[in-house]
Chain A
C-alpha cells in the first residue's frame, strides 16, 4: 500500500486521540467510497445477488442525497468520505501497544474499575478477551428456546428468509443519507429472532457479541420478536471507545409482532473525534410495546432520534434518553413517534445536560393523523445547563389531526446556579463533586430505568465527566 498524501492525511485525521495504526493491512477495501469498494465488501462476505444489488442501489441513493445541513449541524460538512476506510476484515484489525495508550485513557479505565484484560481490549490493544466464551454461552442458552442471536452476516447467511422479510422495511435505504450509507457498506451488528411466546429472561448483551468480533463502524442490527415474545437488548458499554475511526453510522431495525415487547438499551461513550450518526426505528404491531432507553455521552456530533411506528391497535412506544454534551461536543438527539393505529400510546422523556461549551439539541416528532382515534402522546424534555456558555435547543414537531387524542408536551430548562454550587461546596464538596451530584440528581429518575449495573457505571461516568470539566 502506498503512502500517498491522502493516506497520510486520513491517518492523521483518524488518529486524533494520539493513536496510530499500522498501514500494512494485506487486505482491506482501502480509502474512499465507490462501487468497487461496495463490491469488495460483498465479495469478502460472499453475498447473494439480491444483497449485492441492494448495496449498489444504496450507494447511488447515498451519492444522490444531499447532506441534511438545511436543518442539521453544518459540522457534517467536515466529514471527508474519501478519507475513510469502509471495511476492514476481522483478521486485519488495528493493533497497537499498551505503552502507546495515553496515560489519561489508562487512568479513565482505572477509575471506571474496568478489569485489566478488558482495558487492553477497549484500548484496541488486544483482539478480544473472554467475550467469545461469554457470547457463546449466552447464545447456547437462548438457543434452547429457539432464539437466534448472531451477527448480521451470519443472520443473512443462515436465516435469509427471515432476515430478508424485514431487512430495510422498518428503515428504507432512502430514509436519510446515512441510512443509505449504512445500507451500502454495513457489516457487523446483531440479528435476533425470538419465537412466539418466548420471554427471554436475561438481557442479550451486544457487548459480548460485538467484542467477540470488533466494533463495527457501520453496524446493522435487526431484531424480530414474534407474537407474545419478549426481549431486552443491551448495546454499548460505559467504557470510552478509543476508536481510530471517526465516522460511525449504524442502522437498527426492530419489529415487535402482536403482543410482543422489546426493550433496547444503549449506553455509549464515544471519544471526542467521532461523528455518531445513527438511525433507529421500530415497528410495533397490535398491543406490542417498544422502549428505547438511550444514553449518549461523548462524540463530536451525535445525531440519533429513535422512533416507533405504532402500526397496530393499542401499540405503545417509548423513548427515554439522557444526553451529556461537554465542551466540543454536540448531542443532537430526540425521538420520532408515528401513530398509525387507534388507541396507540407514546411517551418521550428526554434529559440533556450541557456543560462548558457543550451543546444539546432535542428534536422530537409526534405524528397522529386525522382518521385515528384515542391516541395519546406525552413528551417531556428537560435541559440542564451547567454554565452560561453552554447551549440547548428544542425543536418539537407535533402534528396532531383530529380531535379524539390527548397530547401533552412539557419542556424545561434549568441551570445549576453558582449559588447552588456554593451551597454544596460549603458542605465540603469540591466544585466537581458538587456539579456531578447536581447532574446525577437531574437524571436520577431516568437512571432508575437502566439495569442496575448500568446505572452504577453511568453515575461513575458522570462523575468523571464533571471532574474533567472543572477548570
Chain B
C-alpha cells in the first residue's frame, strides 16, 4: 500500500464532481481502490456516499461536472450502465428493486447470458449447480430461485440476494451501498461471510456504511471518512472504531479546527 498503485489494476476516481438537480454533491472527490483491497467509506447521512455508488454505476439522474473515473485504466464514465456492469462493475443496492413475474434464477441467468458472446448459450445444469452451492453459502433456501426477484423478500433476504448476484457475476470491483442496513446480526454475519469469500487479489471492494458494525465482519484494509462530498480522513481499520467511539461530530470539530 505504500507503493504507487498500478493503474491497470485499480479503480481510480480523480477530482470527481457530481450534481443532481443543480446541487453539487461530490466536490472534487479522490479515491483509488487497487485490486485485492477492501476500502470502507464511512460518514454521516447526506455527505454523498450513496451518490458516489450511483455515479459509479452510471445512474442517469446524476450529472458529472468534472473529473474522471478509470477502471483498470479504462474510462468508466464513457460507458453505459450495462456496459459498466459487463466490464466488471457491480453495485449491491441499498434498496434493491422488485421485478414482478421474473424469477430470480431467470434474472441471474439473463445477466450471465448477457456476458456471453452472441450465439453462445449457458449450460443450464452447471448454472443451477453453481447457484445452489452459492445459495447454500448464503443460507438461502432453494425456493428463492423460483420466486420473483426481490418480490415479497424481507430486508435481509434482499441483501442476501444482492450478494448472491455478486457471487454469480464475479465482478472486478464491487461497491456495497449500505449493505448492512436492515440486517439483524445473524444475517449480517452471513452476508459478510459471502463478501469475505469473494475477497481476492483480483477484486477490489468499496464498502459504504454508516456504522462500524459491518466492518467488524468485513475487515477493511483502509477506512475513509467522507464529509461534504470529499474524503477528509483516511486510515487503517482502527479509524472505524475511533469514529464509532467519538462519533462524526469529532470529525466535524477536527475539520473546523
Please name all residues of chain A whose beta carbon is closer than 8 Å to the beta carbon of B57 when the two chains form the complex. 422, 426
Given contacts A433-B110, A441-B148, 16 further A-B contacts (CB under 8 A): A422-B59, A422-B60, A423-B97, A423-B99, A424-B97, A425-B58, A426-B57, A427-B114, A427-B165, A428-B82, A428-B86, A429-B110, A433-B114, A437-B110, A441-B101, A441-B102
**CB–CB A427/B93 < 8 A:** no
By the criterion CB–CB under 8 Å, are A442 and B100 in contact? Answer: yes
Closest B residue, CB atoms, query A417: B97
Residues of the B chain whose Cβ atoms lie less than 8 Å from the Cβ of A443: 101
Seen from chain A, the residues whose Cβ lies within 8 Å of a Cβ on chain B are 414, 417-420, 422-431, 433-434, 437-438, 440-445
11 example contacts (A-B, Cβ-Cβ < 8 A) are as follows: A417-B97, A422-B81, A426-B85, A427-B114, A428-B82, A428-B114, A437-B107, A440-B101, A441-B100, A441-B101, A441-B148
Contacts of B99 in A (CB 8 A): 420, 423-424, 437-438, 441
Shortest Cβ distance from residue A182 to the other chain B in the assembled complex, whole angstroms: 37
Residue on B with the closest CB to A442? Answer: B101
CA distance A418 to B86 in the complex (A): 20
Chain B residues near A426 (CB-CB < 8 A):
57-58, 81-82, 84-85, 90-91, 93
Chain A proximity of B26: nearest CB distance (Å): 19
B114/A440 in contact, CB under 8 A: no
Contacting residues, chain B, for A427 (C-beta < 8 A): 85, 107-108, 111, 114, 165, 169
- Is B115 in the interface zone, CB < 8 Å from A? yes
Known: A422-B59, A423-B93. A429 touches B101 (CB 8 A): no
Residues of A within 8 A of B169 (CB): 427-428
* B81: A residues at CB distance < 8 A: 422, 425-426
Whether A423 contacts B96 by the Cβ 8 Å rule is yes
Q: Interface centre among A417, A420, A428, A442, by most B CB within 10 Å?
A: A428
The minimal Cβ–Cβ distance linking A14 to chain B, given in whole angstroms, is 37
Q: Are B82 and A431 in contact (CB under 8 A)?
A: yes
Chain B residues whose C-beta falls within 8 Å of the C-beta of A423 in the assembled complex: 93, 96-97, 99
Residue ranges of B at the interface with A (Cβ–Cβ < 8 Å)? 57-60, 80-82, 84-86, 90-91, 93, 96-102, 106-108, 110-111, 114-115, 148, 165, 169
Nearest Cβ on chain B to A444's Cβ, whole angstroms: 4
A420 to B97, CA, bound (A): 6
- Which residues does chain A contribute within 8 Å of B115, judged by CB atoms? 428
Residues of A within 8 A of B148 (CB): 441
Residue pair B82, A429 in contact (C-beta under 8 Å): yes
A467 to B155, CA, bound (A): 33
Bound state CA distance, A319 and B70, in angstroms?
55
Complex-state Cα separation, A435 to B186, whole angstroms: 36
A444 to B103 alpha-carbon distance, docked (Å): 10
A436 to B97 CA separation, bound complex (whole angstroms): 16
Give min CB distance, A434 to chain B, whole Å.
8
Given contacts A433-B110, A437-B102, contact A425 B97 (CB under 8 A): no
* Closest A residue by C-beta to B148: A441
Residues of B within 8 A of A431 (CB): 82
**Docked CA distance A429–B99 (Å):** 14
A-B pairs with the 8 shortest C-beta distances? A441-B101, A441-B102, A423-B97, A425-B81, A427-B111, A428-B85, A444-B101, A428-B114
Query: Interface centre among A433, A443, A445, by most B CB within 10 Å?
Result: A433
A445-B169 Cα distance, complex, nearest whole Å: 28
Asked if A429 meets B111 with Cβ closer than 8 Å, knowing A420-B99, A422-B59, the reply is yes
Q: Which residues of B contact A414 (CB under 8 A)?
A: 100
Q: CB-CB < 8 A to A445: which residues of B? A: 101
CB distance from A227 to the nearest CB of B (A): 39
Chain A's closest residue to B90 (CB) is A426
User: B97, A419: Cβ atoms under 8 Å?
Assistant: yes
How distant is A388 from chain B, measured CB to nearest CB, in Å? 15
Given contacts A433-B110, A437-B110, are A425 and B102 in contact (CB under 8 A)?
no
Q: Which residue of B lies closest to A430 (CB)?
A: B82
Q: How far is the CA of A434 from the CA of B84 in the complex (A)?
A: 15
Which of B59, B96, B114 contacts A430 (CB under 8 A)?
B114
A423 to B91, CA, bound (A): 9
Instruction: Tell which of A431, A437, A445 has the most Cβ of chain B within 10 Å.
Output: A437
* CA gap between A434 and B148 in the complex, in Å: 15
- If the complex has contacts A420-B97, A422-B59, A423-B93, are A429 and B102 also in contact, measured as CB distance less than 8 A? no
How many Å from the CB of A353 to the closest CB on chain B?
A: 12
Closest to A443 in B: B101
Q: Could you tell me if A429 and B100 are in contact, using CB atoms closer than 8 angstroms? A: no
Cα–Cα, bound, A438→B97 (Å) = 12
Chain A residues positioned under 8 Å from B59 (CB to CB): 422
Q: Measured between C-beta atoms, what is the minimum distance from B193 to chain A in Å? A: 22
